Amino acid sequence: MCFFIKFLVILLSLKNVVETCIQTRSGGDVVVTACDPNDITFVAGDGVTSITGTNAAPVVGADGTTTMVVTCDATGTPTAITLMTDQNGAVLGSMVAASRIDTTLVCDANGDWTFPDNAAAGVVTEVHCDFGIPNTDPCNGCPAVPGTGDPLGTVVGPTVDVNQCTATVTCNPQAPGGPSFLQFNGNIGNPNGNMAMLTCTNGAWMFDQNGVPLTVNTIECIG
């Protein structure tokens, strides 16, 4: 009886070994260590600068390779984009931010998830999904155009010209045919007389003063 039990144990052990090996072309046996989807931590997003990634169930291909698709999906927010990185900041998948990124991780012989397409990414243990909404309107975030409300001033804009937010301020004379002059920030004269074109850069109105950018906070019309 004891002999029979030992014989069954040996058979079961051999069966387990066979099931966990694949035959190589050279005739050798390579032990395949399974990858666990739970080995990947999807870092929780805050919904402002990041979102939480997801994964599909692992798939075993015809060649025995196990793969798993991980996803950063920002399509729920109009115009939003995302970028996928691992725990070391290496980019996984698209090098350019997009509304949705699907990346295929590969299970290696050590039972680790990897992304072979990026040599900078080693073993992947975390997936980060950066999130943002591009500023598609270059005038968004610009303050009111300086000179707005001046009784002698005329403001045209802001308008978008070749992805640049611009506005034009013109100072009019008090009486027809009379003098008029435009002044920046209380004490800086306008070299162009009574008209100035401003551009909004990084939330501030700028004037190109003979090749030197000037931040314009106020405009006064003198006439």
127 and 54 part of one domain? yes
Of 9-13, 56-60, 216-220, minimum mean pLDDT range: 9-13
119 and 181 part of one domain? no
Write the CB contacts of 182 (distance below 8 Å, at least 6 apart in sequence).
147, 169, 170, 171, 190, 192, 193, 194, 195, 196, 219, 220, 221, 222
- DSSP label at residue 98: B
- Residue 58's SS3 state is coil
The pairing of beta strand 113-114 with beta strand 29-31: unpaired
Of 132, 163, 184, the residue that ends a domain is 132
Of 6-15, 46-55, 142-151, 191-200, minimum mean pLDDT range: 6-15
Query: Is 17 within the bounds of a domain?
Result: no
Query: Is 126 within the bounds of a domain?
Result: yes
43 and 84 part of one domain? yes
What CA–CA distance (Å, rounded) separates 182 from 185? 10
Percent of the chain with pLDDT over 70: 85
Q: Is the pTM of this model over 0.75?
A: no
Query: Is 147 within the bounds of a domain?
Result: no
Spatial CA neighbour of 117 closest among 130, 127, 107, 104: 104
For residue range 5-49, list pLDDT tens digits in order.
333 333 333 334 333 333 333 344 444 568 999 999 999 999 999
112 and 165 part of one domain? no
Query: Is 22 within the bounds of a domain?
Result: no
Spatial CA neighbour of 21 closest among 64, 67, 61, 62: 64
Query: Is 15 within the bounds of a domain?
Result: no
97 and 169 part of one domain? no
pLDDT score recorded for residue 202: 85
Domain count, the chain: 2
Owning domain of residue 87? 33-132
pLDDT score recorded for residue 33: 65
Distances (CA, A) of 159 to 64, 142, 149, 162: 59, 11, 18, 10
41 and 116 part of one domain? yes
Mean pLDDT, range 126-141, rounded to an integer: 88
81 and 166 part of one domain? no
Residue 153's identity, in one-letter code, is G
> Sign of the CA dihedral 55, 60, 63, 64?
positive
pLDDT score recorded for residue 182: 95
124 and 170 part of one domain? no
pLDDT score recorded for residue 162: 77
pLDDT score recorded for residue 180: 92
42 and 127 part of one domain? yes
What CA–CA distance (Å, rounded) separates 3 from 23? 31
Spatial CA neighbour of 83 closest among 51, 37, 130, 127: 130
In the predicted structure, residue 115 carries a pLDDT above the cut 90: yes
